[in-house]
Amino acid sequence: MLFLGLTLLSAPIQWLAIKLRLPLQRTYPHAYHRFLCRLFGIKIHVRGEPVRGQGVLIVANHTSYFDILVMSATLPVSFVAKSEVSSWPLFGLMSKLQRSVFVDRSKRAEAVKSAEQIRQRLKDGDTLVLFPEGTTSDGNHVLPFKSALMGSVESDIGRDGHVEYVPVQPVSISYVGYYGIPLGRENRPFFAWYGDMELVEHVLEAFKTGPLDVVVEFHKPLRVSPECGRKQLAAQAESTIREGQIKALRGEWGMVQPLVQAAE
């Protein structure tokens, strides 16, 4: 009830901020999702440093709708989402208010238009999150990355007469524990949403399961270059994220102080 009440209260505030182009349109979703993580008992453990002060395309592995809460609670971001998400009840509205870029991958012309929109948002200094797997996984491994939308970073941005490319930062998101104990392979589907799982039923079960520990690791940013196009970039990011997830699931990092602490 608190979640629904807060969402209904927040929606017109964010809508107005977007219409008036206020700085609040970027920062309000960040504060909103930080509160939701506390409300739902999600502890975010951050490693590495995100790129700040310029447009950046974050590419991350995709396990669950929890990824949205986690990434937005970690820093102010918008998302690149498939077009059908915009029509989902409640989640579609929240995606629109997050200033998401919706992509129709079934039509080449629409995909090209979306890539141009992504490119412009990056040039404007936005931080966009892209899930190159194109779908969610079971949280135990990383699926192959699709490179199509990463072509948006192949365009340079001019700064003081110099050619500079938008950075691409790989981020691994790993669900590693609940109730403070390691989250094993057999229990990860409680939080991972994939296959033909019913969304509403899964959400209710996930919230009843208990407090969740998530490791978010920001890896060294990459850049496209004449020697490294989008396909090579996607392969590098996939390898880096897979390695980061394996280490997190093995518990090699331990538990650092969480960025977002669950509510008592």
Spatial distance between the Cα atoms of 154 and 227, rounded to a whole number of angstroms: 12
Confidence of residue 162 (pLDDT cuts 50, 70, 90): low
Q: Which amino acid is at 248?
A: A
User: pLDDT at position 247, please?
Assistant: 92
> Does the structure show a pLDDT above 90 at 16?
yes
Mean pLDDT score across all residues of the chain: 82
Q: Which residues contact 118 (CB under 8 A, 6 or more apart)?
A: 57, 80, 101, 128, 130, 149, 152
Spatial distance between the Cα atoms of 60 and 78, rounded to a whole number of angstroms: 13
pLDDT tens, position by position, 2-13: 888 888 899 999
Nearest CA to 67 out of 216, 202, 196, 197 is that of 216
The top-scoring range by mean pLDDT among 88-92, 111-115, 135-139, 204-208 is: 135-139
Confidence of residue 81 (pLDDT cuts 50, 70, 90): confident
| Exposed/middle/buried for residue 85 (C-beta within 10 Å: 0-12, 13-18, 19+) | middle
Identify which has the larger pLDDT, 35 or 226: 35
> Does the structure show a pLDDT above 80 at 204?
no
Spatial distance between the Cα atoms of 41 and 214, rounded to a whole number of angstroms: 11
User: pLDDT at position 163, please?
Assistant: 55
Is there a contact between 219 and 171 (Cβ–Cβ < 8 Å)?
A: yes
β-pairing verdict for 162-165 and 156-159: antiparallel
Number of Cβ within a 10 Å radius of residue 205:
14
Q: To 10 degrees, what angle do helices 24-40 and 66-74 make?
A: 120
User: pLDDT at position 115, please?
Assistant: 77
pLDDT tens, position by position, 214-236: 999 999 998 876 667 778 888 99
Identify which has the larger pLDDT, 174 or 251: 174
> Does the structure show a pLDDT above 50 at 181?
yes
Q: What mean pLDDT do residues 119-136 have?
A: 88
- What is the maximum alpha-carbon separation in the chain? 55
Spatial distance between the Cα atoms of 209 and 54, rounded to a whole number of angstroms: 38
